[in-house]
Structure 1
Amino acid sequence: MSVKWEGVFPAVTTKFTAEDELDIPAFVANLEAQLAAGVDGIILGGTLGEASTLSDEEKFELVRQTVAFVDGRVPVILNIAEQTTAKAIEVAATAKKNGVSGLMLLPPMRYKADASETVAYFKAIAKSTDLPIMIYNNPIDYRIEVTLDMFEELTACANIQAVKESTRETSRVTEMINRFGDRFKILSGVDTIAFESLVLGADGWVAGLVCAFPAETVAIYRLVKAGRIAEAVAINRWFYPLLQLDVHPKLVQNIKLAELMTGLGTEQVRLPRMPLEGEERERVLGIIENALQKRPVLPEVEVADLV
C-alpha cells in the first residue's frame, strides 16, 4: 500500500518473554490498541524496538506478524540501521518481500560518514527499491546530521519522501518548508516538541509514549490539525512529564514501564538493557502514576475535521 506520511506513527516496542524470546501475543495486543486509537502507521525496528538486539530472523518475524495483523489498515514501516550499504540494500529487499509499505533510513551505523558518503548511502538504497522512504535525521543520538544541502541532493530520489525530524530544533520544520515546500513530508521524532512542530506545519508524529498512551497522542495530533489549539495545549501540558521520558538514555525502559502501568505491555527488555530499579524506577513510576491519576477526558475529533 502507499504511504501518506501524515498522522501518528508509533515507533513500537518489541515485547519479550521472561525467557528472552519474542512475546508475540503481547506485541499484537499493543498493535491492537494502537489501531483502536486511530494511529496512521506502524514503525518497526527503531530504537524503541531494540532493533540492535534482534536477529534478522526475529526482526522479520515481527514484520510478518505486523503485516498480517494490520492487514492493510495502515502502512507498516521498517527502520533500517545497518553498518554497510550492501546489508542495508539486502534488508530493504527482504522487507519488501515480507510486505512492508515503506522504509525509515538511518545513516550508516558505527562509521561517522561525511556528507557525501551519507548521501551516497541513502541514494544507493533508494535506487535499489521502489518502496517509499523516510530519512531519520537524529544527529543527537546517531552523530550524523542530514543537512538542508544534503536533502537538496536527495530530491533526485523520488521515493525519498519524508523525514523523521529529530534534530531537537523546532526551527528545522520551518527551514525545511521554506526551502522545499511540500517536497518532503515532515514527521516530528521528538515527543517533547511534537506539539510545537505540528503547529509549525509538521505533517505527522513518530511517537514514543504513544506505545502506552495511544489515544492521548492521537488526540493531540488531531486537535492541532483541526485548529483546536487550546484543547491540544491542555492535553500536551498534562502529557509533558511523560513525554520527557522519551528524551532519556533509558527511554526504552521508561516507556516499557509506562506500557506495563497502562496494561499495554511488560517491562521485559533485552540485555544489555535492564529494567529500571530502586530510586530510578520509583521516580519514573511516580511520574506515570501521577499522570494516570489526572488522565484527561479526551474530546472527540472527527477525521473529516482535519485540515
Structure 2
Amino acid sequence: MNRHDVDWAGYWPAASTPYAADGSVDELALTALMELYVSQGVHGVLVNGSTGEWFSQSPDERRRVAEVTVAAVAGRTPVVVGVTATTAAEASDLARHAERAGADGVLATVPPYVHPSPAESLAFYAEVSSATALPFMVYNWPRGVSVDLAQTPGLMQALADLPQVAAIKDSTGDWNAMVATTQAVADQVRVFGSFSHRKGLAIMAGLGGDGAIDGGGVGAPYGVPFYEAAQAGDLDLARFWVDKYQAISGRLVAPDYSGVFASPIAQLKVAMHLLDQPAGRLRAPLIELTDPAAIAAIAAILREAELPVSADREASVIAERGSW
C-alpha cells in the first residue's frame, strides 16, 4: 500500500469528543459535530485521537465513538479512527473493530508511557498496521508519548515501507525534522504535518506534503480553502487563506503544540462554545477553562480573525462556565 491507494489530503479536523454534564459521551452532539464538519467541506475526519480524549474513555466508549462517527459521516468524507493503546494487542483489537464499523483507516502513536526504542516502535507498528486490511496512518506525537520518531535516522522510511502504511501524521515540534520526513517519504506515503503557514506552503510546493490534521477544526473556514488553493497551485490565494488561518492558530497554539491559555483541549472547547459549536464538556483528568479573562481573550482572537463571536455569546459562555 502507498500514497496512491488513498486520497487522503487537505484539511482534517481531529475531532473532540463531546461529553454531557454527567460525563457520558453525548452521541447527539457528536453526530451534530460531524454534520458541522461535513458542511464545512473538510477533507477527512480523525476521531479518537489526542483531541478526542481517547485516554479517558473505556474501550467500549471508544468503539461507540467510532460507530457513531462513521454512521454520521456516512461516506461523505474519509474517517480515520485512532487506536492508540499501551499494547499492540489492544490497539489491534480496536483497529479490527474500526474496520468492522466501516472506517476508512486507522491511526496510532507508539504506546504511551512505554518510551519504546526505534526497533520496538517499528515492531509495534508492524503488528498493529497488519491487524486489518485498512490503510494505516503512523502518528508521531512526541508531546504525548515522549518519543520522537522523526529524530531516528531512517525510521520514518522504515515505517513507510510497512505494507499497510499509507500515511504519516508528523506532529513533532521540530519543524526541520518534519521537513526532513516530508522529503524522505512524501513520494511514497501521504504526509500530514505543520504545513498551515507560508513556510509550509513553500515546502508543499517544493518537496511535497499533503495536509494537516488540526485539533478541533475551529480553523476550518480558512484551512479548507487554503489546502484547496494549494492543491490547485494558486499560491496567491493559498497565502490569503493561510494568513487568516494563522490569525487563529498562531495565537492559540504554541510551536510545541501546547496551549496558550490552558491545555489545548480545554481552550479548544471554549473556542467551540464561543462559536456555538457542539463541543460538550471535558472529562477528567482535564479541567474546564473557566477564567473569564482567558475566555474573553480567546473570544477576542476569534473575532479579530473574523469568526462569528457575538458579545452576548461571550457573556453567556463566561456565565455558564462560572457555574461549572
Q: What TM-score, normalized to structure 2?
A: 0.82
* Structure-2 change in CA distance of 1:197 and 1:39 (3 Å): farther
Asked if the contact 1:89–1:125 (Cα under 8 Å) also holds between the matched residues in 2, the reply is yes
* Structure-2 change in CA distance of 1:230 and 1:209 (3 Å): farther
Q: Which moved more, 1:96-105 or 1:277-286?
A: 277-286
The one-letter amino acid of 1:109's match is P
| Secondary structure at the counterpart of residue 154 of structure 2 | helix
Deviations 1:202-232 (A, max 9, x none): 112111252x342221011111222222222
Partner of 1:166: 171
Runs of 5+ consecutive residues of structure 1 not aligned to the other structure = 296-307
Q: Structure 1 residue 51: deviation in Å?
A: 0.8
Asked if the contact 2:11–2:220 (Cα under 8 Å) also holds between the matched residues in 1, the reply is no
* Structure-2 change in CA distance of 1:191 and 1:81 (3 Å): farther
Asked if the contact 1:195–1:220 (Cα under 8 Å) also holds between the matched residues in 2, the reply is no
* Structure-2 change in CA distance of 1:240 and 1:172 (3 Å): same
The RMSD of aligned alpha carbons is 2.4
Give the alignment partner of residue 149 of structure 1, picking from 134, 145, 154.
154
Q: Does 1:290 align with 2:296?
A: no
Partner of 1:176: 181
Q: Which moved more, 1:225-234 or 1:71-80?
A: 225-234
CA distance in 2, matches of 1:238, 1:7: 16
| Secondary structure at the counterpart of residue 164 of structure 1 | strand
Partner of 2:232: 226
Q: Does 1:48 align with 2:51?
A: yes
* Structure-2 change in CA distance of 1:172 and 1:21 (3 Å): same
* Structure-2 change in CA distance of 1:103 and 1:294 (3 Å): closer
Partner of 2:118: 115
Give the alignment partner of residue 211 of structure 2, picking from 190, 201, 204.
204
Asked if the contact 1:13–1:49 (Cα under 8 Å) also holds between the matched residues in 2, the reply is yes
Q: Does 1:248 align with 2:246?
A: no
Q: Once the two structures are aligned, what percentage of the paired residues are identical?
A: 23
Deviations 1:108-155 (A, max 9, x none): 111111111111100111222211111111223321122441123224
The one-letter amino acid of 1:149's match is G
Deviations 1:73-96 (A, max 9, x none): 222111122111211121111221
Q: Structure 1 residue 101: deviation in Å?
A: 1.4
Partner of 2:92: 89
The aligned length equals: 293
Partner of 1:98: 101
Q: Does 1:74 align with 2:77?
A: yes
CA distance in 1, matches of 2:86, 2:16: 22
Q: What TM-score, normalized to structure 1?
A: 0.86
Deviations 1:47-74 (A, max 9, x none): 1111111111221111111111222222
Q: Structure 1 residue 282: deviation in Å?
A: 2.8
Q: Which moved more, 1:256-265 or 1:8-17?
A: 256-265
Q: Structure 1 residue 173: deviation in Å?
A: 5.0
Q: Which moved more, 1:264-273 or 1:7-16?
A: 264-273
Partner of 2:138: 135
Q: Does 1:5 align with 2:8?
A: yes
Give the alignment partner of residue 268 of structure 1, picking from 281, 294, 307.
281
Asked if the contact 2:81–2:105 (Cα under 8 Å) also holds between the matched residues in 1, the reply is yes
CA distance in 1, matches of 2:115, 2:129: 20
Q: Structure 1 residue 167: deviation in Å?
A: 1.4
Q: Structure 1 residue 172: deviation in Å?
A: 3.9
Runs of 5+ consecutive residues of structure 2 not aligned to the other structure = 310-324
Asked if the contact 2:195–2:204 (Cα under 8 Å) also holds between the matched residues in 1, the reply is no
